[in-house]
Structure formats: C-alpha cells, structure tokens
Structure 1
Amino acid sequence: MPVKEKEEVLLKDIKEDVQSVRDAVVLSDDVSRIDEYNFESLFGIYKNPQQQVVFVRTIYRQLVGEILKFFSSKCVAEAMTNICILEEVFRSQRGYIDIEMSLEDVECINQHAYSLGKKENSGVVREGIRAWNCLKQRKAIRICVMPFPDDERSLMLIEEELEAISKTLDGWEDSRDGNCTN
C-alpha cells in the first residue's frame, strides 16, 4: 500500500478510535477508559522520522481542532477528554514530537481551562485541566506563527529556504574570518 493511502487509512482508523474512546470517557466520566486504546502503538509507525513527524502532527492538529470546536459548541466534557487524549498521544511519542499550535489556540484553551478550574469540577474536567497543565509544564506545546506543513510541496519550499539561509550563514562566517571577496 502506498504511503499516502496507508496514512489516510491510519488517520481514519485513529479518528474513529479517538471518537469511540471519547464517547466512552464522556458517558462514564472516567478518564481511565483512555487506556483502552494503546496510543503507544503510534510510536515508530514510520521508519522515516520525517514521515513520523508529519503523521503525528496531523493527529495533533485533528485533536486541537476538535478541542476548539467542542469548546465553541459548549461541549466541555468532550473538549477536556480530547485534551487528555492529546497528552496521551504526546506521551506515546516519548516527548520527541512537540505539539505546534497558534498563540490564539493556546490562549483559547488556556482561558477555558482557567475558567473551568475556578469552578468546582471533578472527573473528566479535572483530568483535562491536569493534562493541559502537564503539557505546558513539559513544554510540549510550541507556539508557531506558521503551523507545520503537511504536504510535500510546503516541506520542499521550507527545505529550499533553509538551504538558502545555510548558504548565507556560510558566506557570513567566511566574511567574519577576514576572507571577504568584495
């Protein structure tokens, strides 16, 4: 199976698994139900590290998008469950792949977590707040102006830009060594 098809099938399966785990957690108000899905199996799905990063960051983006959607539609338990799942996916990668988010998204989740934390909460909400704080303490979230691209063309453009920067820096080092050709 080609890599692109494999990834689409995996992402669809993971999305379905996340939905069923989230439903089970919300219905039972028991975050330990997340353990029914083995997120550890996501570690090293791809031998190529670049493919692994793109794959995992795609999962992160899906989860963050759902968190924001749930908060905007006042589905607090679902949003907090997704935060717990986000933490589990991050831990499954052993902290190697950080979560890229825009500042606006981080602030939105912070505001919801803060306002929920001021109220008397238990179960899923408390665990979601704990998971969010844990992600922040571990510095798992990296604020980005431009989120990580998920298509080959964007990756190639970034690679070309990095090569140009590298060449410029090489030339800059040479000029600092007194080897200026001007």
Structure 2
Amino acid sequence: MKINFVIFLITVFLMANTYYDGRFTEYLTKGKKYYKIATFGFVGLSIYLFINKHPGESKNLIKHATELIKYMPVDSNTSDMLTPLFDFTNAREKINQMGQSNITPQTRRMMNSGGGRGGVKRCVSETKKKYVAAQQSWKCNMCNEQLSHTFQVDHKIDLQFGGDNSVSNLAALCNNCHADKTAANNL
C-alpha cells in the first residue's frame, strides 16, 4: 500500500510540473550547489564513521578507493590534486609484505581456485579474467598496449604441460598477441 502512495505522489508531481512548464524541477535545480555540498558532507561523514567503527576494514576501503580513482574519468586538475593524497605505492608494498591476512575470503578463494589436480579445465571465470587484467593495469602482458574489451587470458604454463588456472599462471593479452603466442606454440 505504501509503494502505491509513493507512485501516486510521483505521478502527481510530474503532471503538475508538466502543467506549470517545469517550474517545480527548475525550483529544485536552483539548489544544485547545496545538494552537492550536502552529498560531500554525507559521504565524508559516512567514511569517517565507518573508519571509526571498523578500523581493520579501513585499509581495504582506502585500497579500493585508490583503485577506483585510477580508473575514474576526472580532469587533470582533480587528478593532480588527488594523486599526492592517494599515492599508496609504498603502503601497498607494506600491505603485500604483511601476507594474505588483509585479503577477503572471497578474493582468496578466487585467487586459489583452479589449482591442483582438479584444475585441468580450460575454463577461467570472467571475474578472474578481470582481476588478472586489473593487476596488469589493463595493459597487454606482451606488447603493453591498452587492452580492449575483447582481451584474452592466456596460461603462462599451458595446461598440457602441467599449468593450472590459478591467478599466478594467467596473463591478460590483446587478441593479436594471444594469436601470435598460440600460433608459435602450435608450430
């Protein structure tokens, strides 16, 4: 019953807005700057409260935020401002030296899947493919060109020679390099 009322209110609002030639939406867009300020304040406060409540997960949050900012479309001024704040190359090395303790169980399961005697299928999940490509900064492992959406994942040690589907045995290649490597192996 409640959802019906919400739909009714939205419909009435849109009808009235159309009747009055968009005056209501124009009124709402006048406060765009204040909506932006409120959004930034809410996000900042949420992050602050999350870090205080879950200090162990804050490292993961910062790591994922750093990875996200790398791939976000931002202008050069914003990029120049954020680069010094999120330059965690030394911190990432320290985290990696700490071992696998900060890796979530899902990530650990994905990284270790496909190994052992049972991993002889030539089937690699899309998640694992994207993970391998992201670890290579979305660049081809052979020619260092930017990977397209049709990139291939290749086994460093072929399955027929004892390789497996673990992340450490996979490399993301562009279609041309993958075709060249496959042709060279088959000759």
User: Which structure has more helix as a fraction of its residues?
Assistant: 1
Relative contact order, CA 8 A, sep 6+: which one is greater? 1
TM range (shorter): under 0.3
TM-score by length of 1: 0.28
